[in-house]
Structure 1
Amino acid sequence: MRDHIPVVVQGRRRRAGRAGLAGLLWGAAELTVTVGVVVLLLVVHQVWWTNRQALAGAHEQVRELEREWTGPPALPALPPPANDPSPDPSPEPGSVPDPDAGPSRAPSPSDEGAPSPARKPPPQESAYGVLRIPRLGVVVPIAQGVDKRAVLDKGYAGHYAGSGQPGAEGNFALAGHRNTHGEPFRHINRLRAGDELIVDVRGKRYTYVVGRTLPETTERDTGVIAPVPRSVVKPEYGYSEPGAYITLTTCTPEYTSKYRLVVWGVLTS
């Protein structure tokens, strides 16, 4: 009988070892599944939910701007009485005129139909315009600044600080997400020469036409948003003459932020 005791004990140890290993493997499998589910939920939230949320907010912002622009105009001020003793509103000699009033001159024939660009930048991070890309079916608010949380993650197109204003001489440069958060610039790689880029600002419309595209450049290629846009990394891409330009920038390849894709347009009306 004593010869059989070690055999019995050894078998029990083996079974216990197998049970412990099975439990360990089962726990690892459960942990892997849990981590996979969490990652999947994060991906769904980032790729699907943020898109829906940002798109809904961006479309509501567009509607709000359009309501503001098309709302009833303010009532005109009543004319003063004939015997109103108030002084002539023209500035006295040596006084400083209102800087926003512009130069005092009679309009010239060349002014007819000319665009009236904004005189100064809008408040930081506030939506003030709408970008329309008919070929892609994109309608997106434009806000001042390119801060991710305050502007881009809302599904807006962000206006680079220091770049030109809509309809004005210079380069009106915009950034937008290509993936997630509304991804308004996801398909700008599909734009071709001649496609329209329409910018509406407080009832005024500026139409640009796509001229050139830079498929890929580094994130530090600041030349693409210069007043006369031209890549400093790939100088064969861009323009060499002053004009009224628009620039769209986004990340490339998709789902990365390694490089930048650039589309340029020129003002036509």
Structure 2
Amino acid sequence: MTALRPERESGATYGESFTDSYGGVGDQGTSYGQQPYGGPGARGEQYGGEDHVTQGQAHGPGAEAYGADGYGGGYTYGTDGYGTQHPGTEGYGADGAAAARQPYEEPYAEPYIPPADDETVALRVPDPPPLAGRVSASAASSAASAAGTPTGGRAARRKAAKRRHGRHGGSHAASESAETGSESSQAPLSRLEARRQARARKPSPGVLASRAIGEVFITTGVLMLLFVSYQLWWTNVRAHAQADKEASSLQNDWASGKRNPGTFQPGQGFAILHIPKLDVVVPIAEGISNKKVLDRGMVGHYAEGKLKTAMPDAKAGNFALAGHRNTHGEPFRYINRLAQGDAMVVETQEKYYVYKMASILPVTSPSNVSVLEPVPPGSGFTGPGRYITLTTCTPEFTSKYRMIVWGKMVEERPRSKGKPDALVS
């Protein structure tokens, strides 16, 4: 029943209208519609109808209409009717009813947009709005600074973490910041002061000299280490290889008959020495030259000048040999471990000569050549015989003294009869 209806004709009786609404009978002759209330301030054109106030017409100049749905939006009286309009109220009528039916809307506010990241524009959890926690931005920043929490973007947080957890800890970061602050607070240096500081930073001649000496010492130490490694390790490797090659070549020549007993050239191999207790098998060459014989891992026969000694096949004499105790194959390193009765076998192209260890001279002078005599003094031998003498340096890794080991021949065995018992066992 909210649709508008046609207005009644002007001059309608009040009784007719009142009869429609309340069932009573009014005065049909009295025109009650316009004269009593039609003027300024009246409540409407007519008072009655099906909806009590149905037409929504104005009640006078300046007054709002009553709504079709009753009193729709509040009480508003015309300025010329029942008084002035009350502030904040809506008028009667269709407009007032429509305003009353509209839902309440919140005032428009701009949505919160988090600031762009310094490093990336990828998604991330936004910071809370400034008023979310009822704390202002300045208060939050002050609290974060007091707690040691970075308030900037990701880059600022990383820098702050690096300062706090660097290689040297927080104290290092604090010292760096203090130094940076002190440097920034200082006034710029003058050219003269800058030159003075540059000269002060330059190392002095004493420092340069000490550095040079230190580098020389380090280089010398490295070279000495390399030399020692060469002497103690590489020379043995190379000498063993050369000695093994010479022994194999000598045995092959003996098997093929290329060599004949007789006089040998310096450096030429002619026999093989076996010391079973020490597990020594080493070629014997003519002469005692370091370069040609001893440094190649072989032992040398004293066969030159005043130091010339007999050969193993001589009927009487002293067969003297020299060899290294350390480095270059070190064939005589452990001859001090020999005891009386230990076998020493000299293998030649035709025979095996078996000697038994008789005595040892632990220390003697390098110039004591009497140990090479046919009957060496101090050996315990009392007369001519067939002897063997081994000479080497002592103590180890030095050549200050000589060690002498003597032995006496106990067996001469042709190769055709096979190896002697000392080599078989």
Q: Which TM-score bucket, shorter chain as reference?
A: 0.7 to 0.9
Q: Distance in 1 between matches of 2:310 and 2:292?
A: 21
Superposed CA offset, 1:212-239 (max 9, x none): 0000111111111111122xxxxx4442
Question: Residue 190 of structure 1 is aligned with which of 337, 354, 358?
Answer: 337
- SS of corresponding position for 2:371: helix
**Number of equivalenced pairs:** 216
| Farther-moved stretch of structure 1 (217-226 vs 23-32) | 23-32
Q: Distance in 1 between matches of 2:344 and 2:233?
A: 27
- Contact in 2 for aligned 1:224/1:238 (Cα 8 Å): no
**1:61 to 2:246 alignment:** yes
Q: Distance in 2 between matches of 1:186 and 1:217?
A: 17
**1:34 to 2:180 alignment:** no
Q: 1:242 to 1:265 in 2, by over 3 A?
A: same
Decide which structure has the larger Cα Rg and report it. Answer: 2
1:265 counterpart residue number: 407
**1:240 to 2:382 alignment:** yes
- Contact in 2 for aligned 1:70/1:203 (Cα 8 Å): no
Question: Residue 153 of structure 1 is aligned with which of 295, 301, 304?
Answer: 295
Give the AA of the match of 1:228: V
Give the AA of the match of 2:201: R
TM-score by length of 1: 0.73
- SS of corresponding position for 1:251: strand
Q: How does 1:115-194 map to 2 (within 5 A)?
A: 120-161=262-303, 162-168=308-314, 169-194=316-341
- Gap regions ≥5 residues in structure 1: 75-117, 231-235
Q: 1:200, CA displacement in angstroms? A: 0.5
Q: 1:257, CA displacement in angstroms? A: 0.9
Superposed CA offset, 1:178-232 (max 9, x none): 11111111111111111111000104110001000000111111111111122xx
Q: Distance in 2 between matches of 1:43 and 1:225?
A: 33
1:218 counterpart residue number: 365
Q: Distance in 2 between matches of 1:63 and 1:244?
A: 28
- SS of corresponding position for 1:182: coil
Q: 1:17 to 1:57 in 2, by over 3 A?
A: closer
Give the AA of the match of 2:409: L
Q: 1:14, CA displacement in angstroms? A: 3.6
- Contact in 1 for aligned 2:379/2:406 (Cα 8 Å): no
Q: Distance in 1 between matches of 2:335 and 2:313?
A: 21
Give the AA of the match of 1:130: I
- Contact in 1 for aligned 2:266/2:287 (Cα 8 Å): yes
- SS of corresponding position for 1:62: helix
RMSD: 2.4
TM-score by length of 2: 0.47
1:15 counterpart residue number: 201
Superposed CA offset, 1:126-173 (max 9, x none): 001000110111111101111111111111110001201114311000
- Gap regions ≥5 residues in structure 2: 1-189, 412-425
Give the AA of the match of 2:312: P
Superposed CA offset, 1:20-56 (max 9, x none): 5544433333222211111111111122111110111
Give the AA of the match of 2:202: A
- SS of corresponding position for 2:236: helix
Give the number of the structure with larger relative contact order, counting CA–CA contacts within 8 Å between residues 6 or more apart: 1
2:169 counterpart residue number: none
Q: Percent identity?
A: 44
Q: Distance in 2 between matches of 1:122 and 1:7?
A: 84
